[in-house]
Amino acid sequence: MEKDIGAIKQIIETSQSAGLLLEKGTGEEFFLAKEALKTALLLKNLALISLPYEIPAYASKWLPFLTKEGAPVPQKISINIPKEKYPVKELKYDEDNDYFSLLITLQGTNFNKDDLIFKETLPKTDSIFYFCRNFDSEKLNHFKTLIEIPEKENVILIKPDQETVSEKAFEIIDSFSFDNEILKTSHLPTLLFAAVFKETDGFKNISQGALRLAARLLELGADKETTENIFNQDKIPVFWQMLGRALARTAVDQNLQSSWTFLSKKDFEKHKAEPKEEFLLKILKEISQTVPGQTFSLILWQAPTQNAFDLNNEDEIWATIKSADAVKLNFLATELKTKNQNGHLKTGPFKTFSEAEIQIRRALKSAIF
């Protein structure tokens, strides 16, 4: 799976889609190098899937430099009908403004909808780029529950050896960046420069190759000053600190097409922030763009009770839910007995996070299925 640059370039040129996988437990430099390669592959118009879906907490400070997701890898769902039990005479497809329909004409039998079997097939890409510290087939197999891994000939390992991860990512991008066209684009040089900076401990432990790469990236427009400032945690605004904490506490539920973020009262107190609607919606917007492909983005948050008659002064749990699918959001609002407020809704109060999650999950199932 370790290949020379010529073979890697050939794989990229013959791919229409690619997967970018980041091994669990790798450092910030791996994430930055992966994001740089993602930017370059999107500029080549490849459909991409980037895993894991959950974004590490440190990623929040780099959000202004990250490329938003491009065309996703198409998702496939199969609807299975027992052939022997239901002989199909005719099958048609229809759609209107809100729904598409499969019209099935059976030969002389009554149909039971419980016999339908829905199966979601795993996304499949032409090639895989696997960022890892040391190759471990067991860790790669972990991703088999999320994506179909292609033949090993199309799996490319990006791991440090004589070269840093940053150098390897740069070499791959440089192989298809005609006249530096892609390398000069957007924030790509800064992402790679930041990866080199992190990987060499602020250029304290740097090889000649990594030093040459850093100089080349500066020539291409890398922002050295901003990179150094970003690595200084004290210079991160409150919003980005809260977003980092939110991303660290975000999980994806593919079955319910949703991302779930949990923030406690202590989270807001620690960063001297308040769970105001505008603030929460701004966080949800970033999360929905950072964790793509989900119909719903949810924040469940804790706040002091708004009930003046609550003598125990217990905290309450509220949920803010955002979606671009107006039909499903309206249905969810009805299930939760609230209103769609121009693309989002608020529901609560609940006594505990568990109570909120159980009720919202039940409502989501009704809205989706």
99-108, pLDDT tens digit by residue?
888 788 887 7
Token code pair at residue 269: 């107190």
Q: How many angstroms separate the Cα of 130 from the Cα of each of 69, 110, 206?
A: 18, 50, 24
| Pairwise CA distance, residues 272 & 191, whole Å | 30
Are 48 and 73 contacting, i.e. CB atoms less than 8 angstroms apart? yes
End-to-end CA distance of the chain: 41
Q: Which CATH architecture has domain 238-368?
A: Roll (3.10)
What residue spans define the domains of the chain? 5-72+124-233, 76-121, 238-368
Q: Which amino acid is at 28?
A: E
Q: Which CATH architecture has domain 5-72+124-233?
A: Alpha-Beta Complex (3.90)
52-61, 147-156, 223-232: which has the minimum mean pLDDT?
Answer: 52-61
Q: Does 237 have pLDDT greater than 80?
A: no
pLDDT tens column, 133-189: 888 777 787 888 888 888 889 999 999 988 999 999 999 999 988 767 787 777 899
Residue 112's pLDDT is 80
Residue 309's pLDDT is 44
Residue 70's pLDDT is 57
Q: What angle do CA 59, 61, 65 make, to 5 degrees?
A: 85
pLDDT, the chain, mean = 85
Give backbone dihedrals phi and psi of 334, rounded to 5 degrees, phi first.
-65, -45
Closest by CA position to 336, among listed 358, 351, 316, 307: 358
| Pairwise CA distance, residues 285 & 288, whole Å | 5
Q: Does 262 have pLDDT greater than 80?
A: yes
